[in-house]
Amino acid sequence: MSIAFTFPGQGSQAVGMGRDLAEAFPEARAVFQEVDEALNQPLSKLMWEGPEDELTLTANAQPALMAVSLAAIRVMEKEGFRLQDKVAYVAGHSLGEYSALAAAGTFSLSDTARLLRIRGNAMQAAVPVGEGAMAAIIGLEAADVEEVCASAAKGAICQIANDNGGGQLVISGARSAVEEAARLASERGAKRAIMLPVSAPFHSALMGPAAERMREALAEVQKNAPAVPVIANVTVSPLTDPEEIAARLVEQVTGRVRWRETVEWFGGNGVHTLYEVGSGKVLTGLARRINRDLNAVAVNTPADIEAVLKAL
């Protein structure tokens, strides 16, 4: 039986994130300083003091979440932890896949921060504000949601963006189509169909320009084989080849985050414990709903890190 590390995605950010790590550990402070320098921005000040609406902006939230995850990893490494000695796989939810790859050594910390800033800006710029939308559909199976999206599309883009498990799917695309799909989902028996307060239709075909920008950016950075395989969002398969990893990251911009299948893959491939490294506990909650046999543990405070180091 083995262990996997998972890394959270957008929505797990909160004002104050990572501050306790920075106060407790010089290794964590060094991570936040390096990210600030890579972005030429006092991002850590925004993370710890807000304002929340500025932290929530995609271009800020993405590198900020990565920084907290990597701060926790660096603290563990200072205590002698080596990913390849204790962990079989890594995976991350959307932007968290970049955090996973940084933790596994595929990208440097500075390059990961810059890639996520490019990704956030490119995703925001791909569609004029107001033209795209996303909605959470609770309580319908994926096949039913796919049918609802097809019925609502009428030539526009409307697709499943995230299959988060536990009966939670997120759809994305043109605003009119997503609104119609949400209405149809409610008629079909969804427990809830909620329009989300997001600024762009992430993980939809409308993100095509952002995918091309990421193809360019990923071609320019140093890429190493990860210390352990990464389970890619779009293929739910273990990858170790740097060029294939980059290709799947490009695909991920417009493709579905297959998180339910990822957790199921772990359960079917000998993983018994998932540690969620970084801000919040979203993935831990999802894992418990998807597969109750998995031990799911959130790691984001000094006490959490101490407990994990003892358990590993």
Q: Any catalytic annotation for residue 272?
A: no
Q: Mean pLDDT, 10 residues at a time, over the chain (312 residues)?
A: 95 96 98 98 98 94 97 97 97 98 98 98 93 96 96 97 95 98 97 91 98 98 98 98 98 98 98 98 96 97 97 92
User: Which entry of 12, 203, 204, 279 is annotated as an active-site residue?
Assistant: 203
Residues paired with residue 297 on neighbouring β-strands, in sequence order: 275
In angstroms, the first-to-last Cα distance of the chain is: 13
38 and 154: one domain? no
Q: Any catalytic annotation for residue 203?
A: yes
pLDDT for the residue 198: 85
188 and 218: one domain? no
Q: How many structural domains is the chain composed of?
A: 2
176 and 270: one domain? no
37 and 87: one domain? yes
**Whole-angstrom Cα distance, residue 287 to residue 295?**
8
Torsion of CA 287, 180, 234, 218, to 10 degrees: -120
pLDDT for the residue 66: 98
277 and 184: one domain? no
111 and 38: one domain? yes
157 and 235: one domain? no
Q: Measuring CA to CA, which residue among 47, 76, 16, 121 is closest to residue 305?
A: 76
**CA 78 centroid distance within chain:** 25
Global confidence as pTM: 0.97
pLDDT for the residue 129: 86
User: Which entry of 12, 94, 99, 172 is annotated as an active-site residue?
Assistant: 94
85 and 114: one domain? yes
Residue 68 structural domain? 2-125+206-311
Residues 98-113 as b/e (b if ≥16 CB within 10 A, e otherwise) read bbbbbbbebbbbebbb
pLDDT for the residue 31: 98
Any residues with CB less than 8 A from the CB of 95 and at least 6 apart, and which? Answer: 9, 10, 62, 65, 66, 116, 119
